[in-house]
Amino acid sequence: MKRRTILKTLPALTLLPAALKVTIVEADEHKAAASKAAGAASKKVELPDYAGKLGYSDGSVTNPDGSTQRGFKDRSSKSQNADPKAPYQMPLTEEELGILKGSKGPEMAKIMAIVVAHGNAFGAEGLVDLGGAPHCSLYTGTDYMKPMIDLFQECADAGLKTYAPYTVNPRCYDVYNVNNNETDMRLIYEGYRYQRDLDWVHAQLGAPDLNYRSCACYVDEVGNAPPPGTYVAWAESSAINYGNSAMGLRTNRNAGGMELLCGLLGKAPLFGLMTDEGRMADWVVEVKTSKAPDLGVLGTAIGLKVIDGVPFITGMEQYLGTEVSNDNMHLLKKMGSATAASGAVGLYHVENLTPDAKQKGRKLIKKDHQTYVYDDAEEARVLGNFPTKMEGRPENPTVALIGCPHNTYKEILMWGKRVTEAMEKRGLKTTAIPTKLFCANVVRDHLVKDEPLLVGKMTEANMRFTNMCTVSYGSMKGFSERIYGVTNSPKTRNYSPWVRYLPDDDIVEVILTGKIPKNA
Amino acid sequence: MAKKTFKGRPLLAGNLDGQALASTQPLNTTGSYLENLFAGRTDSAPCTDANNKAFYKKDLSGAIICTTTTVGSSLGGAALMGVGSLGVGPKALLFSEHVDSVSLAGVLMDDVWNERRVITIDQLGDEFLETVKSGDPISIHEDGTVVVG
């Protein structure tokens, strides 16, 4: 498609629909904010406990003391104007202009207007056609999501569908395998009252059935794995992080909703992590530990250090190898999701391993980069800041939460073998605490098909598969207060500080004995 | 106080006079509206983000919010749409720094889809936040000019 840059001489806003042009807003009523605040404070409103977690969920970039971390910004985007404050209009093709004017209907015109305005704000070079398939993070049918659900229902009513069948994050609950007591069911049906509407919207717009729901959309069984270099517009921090880094995809960290608009349009604004310049590394992370680093701690440390930067990680070849495959997918997923959870990392490079790094080597590193040395002392320092005392919780662990992002096939196979073999070795008939293995149903089905005897043993060991979101489950009101969870996930630990992060060996011990090992 | 003029980038332009609600800390778009988003409160929007000392418990409904930028969950755009639909959204967002893509997505979607505008101006500069205080009279112009005082 030939792109015409016909807009350079036109006023920036003339091409946008009326809704985006300058409008006059009625003068404020001059209400004093302070007096309103006084009135507000006098009214007691009962707030669900789980609501308090929202400010710290996916993508939060506020430190505990309230200071700012940069995230979701214009990082790596290059202003197209000499004056960055001047209005900017990206060039559009005739086809794109036509859509903006309504050639594909009023809903698509509005979608185009939003996507173009968003790209303009970040100095996008233009719109690019998307490939592969979208991945959508809209998964919570809570009250506040209603306007967005309504928006996409209007799109569905207009007959719109995404350019390819798309994957969606896991739901917040699982009423079959886990949340099947009265307390949990009440919370679910009160707290997620629009879940049915959201699921229905996804079904109409092009998502496959619920068995494919997963944040790890790229595993073989779910199958959203476009080739390197493909432009996509994904949301979900861990999927973006893995897609950009381990798969070589090109996506920005999209806001929930924006990814689905781009999916319906089949285009996204080109800026930031989608560009060569935006993928350059501004940090070099030198891993110099005396043994294999704990990838959860390493990822957390990198996120805390570089925040929303692009790290180029060296010294990992002996631990991760030189080819991204199903054998190391879970390791990269673990490390990467931690960088995205403790910071806002949307892309990392691992020397001699990840696609961009294999292709360009150290040419990816910016000249003015900073360096972070991660050695044994640094690992101990970061790990020392992970909470170990769980105030107000049961004395001993009550549940093991395994997999966030969702487990791969290799992981559920490994956990099944490790726990059941250890159990047999000690002559135990079952385990001390239950284990929840979070994965897509199709990943579970793969194990049931290939290892039916093992799955039987896992059931005896009180290991249950669930396809819901680990973070949502770990933070759920009525549940989170009464548990003391242990996890192998640095992401879960980050968002649910009352869930204790442990190395895999220690988690197996906890599952078998119900107690934290003394040296943990 | 003497009037002081700042020039930013109008992302969603408009004219508006009112009083500022200012913080040198960022606005957490999801964490600030929890009583509205989860408890259905529609008469006001007391800020529920205790990390933001200047905004905490202040009414964000109809406010001209002056802050650095926005932070929080990637569902922050949906949160802004949510409070807009409840009638307790801000009237203007004035940022000293570059706009954050999450909140921008929300106000753009609400503006285009629901014709509900939150005037949004970014890159007003550090001096803007050093100058403006909560309660100050503030005048916003459609070219991105903001007059404090």
- Tell me the per-residue pLDDT of B84-135, one tens digit each, with 9 for 90 and over: 999 999 999 999 999 998 899 999 999 999 999 999 999 999 999 999 999 9
Per-residue confidence (pLDDT) for residue A423, from 0 to 100: 97
Note whether A52 contacts B: Cβ–Cβ < 8 A: yes
Q: What is the pLDDT of residue A198?
A: 97
> Which residues lie below 8 Å from residue A325, measured CB to CB, with a gap of 6+?
none
Question: Chain A residue with minimal CA distance to B35?
Answer: A47
Q: What is the pLDDT of residue A144?
A: 86
d(CA A43, nearest CA chain B) in Å: 9
Strand partners, B64: B20, B92
Beta bridge partners of A218: none
Topology of A399-513 in CATH? Aconitase; domain 3 (3.30.499)
B33 has pLDDT over 80: yes
* Fold equal for A113-274 and A399-513: yes
- What pLDDT sits at residue A8? 32
Cβ <8 Å between A147 and B111: no
- Scanning A262-301 for CB atoms below 8 A from B yields none
Confidence at residue A22, expressed as pLDDT on a 0 to 100 scale = 31
Domain range summary for chain A, segments of one domain joined by +: 113-274, 278-384, 399-513
Task: Kindly list the residues from chain B whose CB atom is less than 8 angstroms away from the CB atom of residue A85.
Answer: 7-9, 123, 144
Q: What class, spelled out in words, does domain A113-274 have in CATH?
A: alpha beta
CA distance B106 to B111: 8
For residue A483, the model assigns a pLDDT of 87
Contact list in A for residue B11 (CB cut-off 8 A) is: 117, 121
Question: Which segments in chain A show pLDDT lower than 50?
Answer: 1-42, 57-62, 64, 69-77
pLDDT value for B49: 86
Contact A144 B79 (CB under 8 A): yes
Q: What is the pLDDT of residue A60?
A: 44
Disruptive mutation site among A13, A16, A26, A45 for chain B (greatest number of B CBs within 10 Å)? A45
Would you say A380 and A411 are in contact if contact means Cβ atoms under 8 Å apart?
no
The pLDDT confidence band at residue B39, using thresholds 50, 70 and 90, is confident
Q: How far is CA A242 from the centre of its chain?
A: 9
Q: Can you give the pLDDT at residue A482?
A: 81
Strands B64-67 and A399-402: unpaired
Of B9, B38, B44, the CB nearest to A51: B38
pLDDT of residue A40: 40
Phi-psi region of A66 (alpha: psi -120 to 50; beta: other; left: phi over 0): left
* Token pair recorded at residue A48: 């669900």
Residue from the list A25, A55, A151 with its beta carbon closest to the beta carbon of B30: A55
Look at residue A43 in the predicted model and tell me its pLDDT.
Answer: 55
Task: Identify which of B133, B28, B48, B33 has the alpha carbon closest to the alpha carbon of residue B89.
Answer: B33
Q: Judging by beta carbons within 10 Å of its beta carbon (0-12, 13-18, 19+), is residue A410 exposed, middle or buried?
A: middle
Q: What is the pLDDT of residue B114?
A: 95
- Report pLDDT for A81: 63
Check residue A45 and give its pLDDT. Answer: 63
Predicted confidence at residue A342, as pLDDT, reads 86
Distance between CA atoms of residues A327 and A22, nearest Å: 54
Chain-centroid distance, C-alpha B12 = 12
**Which of A179-188's residues contact partners 24+ apart within 8 Å by CB, and which partners?**
A179/A468, A179/A473, A179/A476, A179/A479, A183/A478, A183/A479, A184/A476, A184/A478, A184/A479, A186/A478, A187/A476, A187/A477, A187/A478, A187/A479
Domain membership of residue B105 as a residue range: 4-148
**Chain A closest-CA separation from residue B72 CA (Å):** 4
Reading the block at residue B76, the tokens are: 């922050």
Checking DSSP bridges between strand B9-12 and strand B4-7, what pairing results, if any?
unpaired
Residues of A in contact with B109 (CB under 8 A): 114, 148, 151, 257, 261
The per-residue pLDDT for A49 is 57
Q: What are phi and psi of A361, to 5 degrees?
A: 60, -145
How far apart (Å, rounded) are the C-alpha atoms in residues B8 and B11?
Answer: 9
pLDDT at A31 (0 to 100): 36
Question: What gap in Å lies between CA B146 and CA B94, rounded to an integer?
Answer: 9
Mean model confidence pLDDT for chain B: 93
| Rounded distance between C-alpha atoms, residue A450 and residue A352, angstroms | 33
Are the beta carbons of A40 and B59 separated by less than 8 Å? yes
Residue whose entry in the numeric block shows the structure tokens 């707290």: A191
Report the gap between the CA of B117 and the closest CA in chain A (Å). 8
- DSSP characters over A372-412: EEE-HHHHHHHHHTS----TTS-SS--EEEE-SSPPPHHHH
Residue A72 DSSP SS3: coil
Res A3: pLDDT: 37
Structurally, chain B folds into a number of domains equal to 1
Q: Which residues have C-beta within 8 Å of that of residue A44, sequence separation ≥ 6?
A: none
